[in-house]
Amino acid sequence: MSDLLERLRGRGWRMTAQRRVVAEVLDGDHVHLTADEVHARAVAKLPEISRATVYNTLGELVTLGEVLEVATDKRAKRYDPNAHRPHHHLVCAQCGAIRDVHPTGNPMADLPDSERFGFTVSDVEVTYRGVCPNCAAA
Amino acid sequence: MSDLLERLRGRGWRMTAQRRVVAEVLDGDHVHLTADEVHARAVAKLPEISRATVYNTLGELVTLGEVLEVATDKRAKRYDPNAHRPHHHLVCAQCGAIRDVHPTGNPMADLPDSERFGFTVSDVEVTYRGVCPNCAAA
DNA sequence: GCTCGAATTGGACTGAGTCCAGTGTGACTC
DNA sequence: GAGTCACACTGGACTCAGTCCAATTCGAGC
């Protein structure tokens, strides 16, 4: 994670306590927090941090490509720090749990030119939906 | 489209002017309106229709499987009447335009058991992102 | 035509996210 | 180590999408 901070500093980011805290909160695998959850965890480490700052910082991390925005179909966007390794998502339709997955195959190659409508296609996002073991047991 | 109305009547739907108007608005290929757009078009045909009714009706159409909810990453959900033929979406990252696409390949088969984390996977959704010809020209 | 339960209304409410003017503070310079 | 200043942060008001609810209306079976 400290390499993230390094990279950010290298990009001319002014390092502030708030940004450091947000970066620390977004650490680990299978982490997919909403902005509010990030805020809640950040407040635990730095009580004065404001919601607006969390949104700003997340937005910057996304435009820098260090964090991915994941729009499952729940209301709130989620933020995924695992941006350095391409992956897709498996979402529980009941509880909303999210896992990172790595399907075989290359969906990019599966879209014939005739189906591109003149678009310059740059990215694919695959979302598997199902029911997680916890919810299936309940 | 009138077959949609037929199917709905067959399912015991009480046929009201409001529901008919919403069903009429959602007609055609590559139609992906937000709830507010549906409401605006419905109002043009039936001025007294309320937002709540449009939301209710869209929600019912979704649970009946006659219409799909599409969550691109814009704020508002979009509604896709083309639910009878499986397809995926190609979204313009700049203007938000959406096209229905039919990739070859079967992404469902591309997710090995080891990557399913015990989930019962029932559905896949593939979203291609890129830039549409209009935005590329601008 | 009557009846009754389902559908509609519209206005208040919620939750997620954005905006902005004023204040604070990293980091560069000396 | 102090001074400077542009960039970052704050918090409160605001927007926008969507939900809720009590009162009213209305479709369709009799």
Instruction: Give the tens place of pLDDT for each residue, B3-34.
Output: 788 888 888 899 999 999 999 999 887 889 99
CATH hierarchy code of domain B88-137: 3.30.1490.190
Place B89 in a pLDDT band, splitting at 50, 70 and 90.
Answer: very high
Edge to edge, what strands does the sheet with B33-34 contain? Answer: B33-34, B78-80, B68-70
- Cβ distance B119 to A112 less than 8 Å, yes or no, reads no
Mean pLDDT of chain B: 91
Task: Output the six-digit token pair for A4.
Answer: 């993230």
Q: What is the pLDDT of residue A54?
A: 98
B72: left (phi over 0), alpha (psi -120 to 50) or beta: beta
CA proximity to A100, closest of A80, A72, A71, A74: A80
| Selected residues 60-79 of chain A with any CB under 8 Å from a CB in chain B | 69, 71-73, 77
Q: What is the pLDDT of residue B2?
A: 57
Q: Which nucleotides of D are covered by protein (CB under 7 A)?
A: 7-12, 16-21, 26-28
Place A26 in a pLDDT band, splitting at 50, 70 and 90.
Answer: very high
Task: Output the six-digit token pair for A36.
Answer: 């509010």
Q: What is the pLDDT of residue A83?
A: 86
CATH hierarchy code of domain A2-80: 1.10.10.10
- Cβ distance A103 to B111 less than 8 Å, yes or no, reads yes
| Selected residues 91-130 of chain B with any CB under 8 Å from a CB in chain A | 92-93, 99, 101-105, 107-112, 115-130
A70 alpha-carbon distance from chain centroid: 5
Q: What is the pLDDT of residue A2?
A: 58
Q: What are phi and psi of B88, to 5 degrees?
A: -125, -170
Q: Domain residues of chain A, as ranges? A: 2-80, 88-137
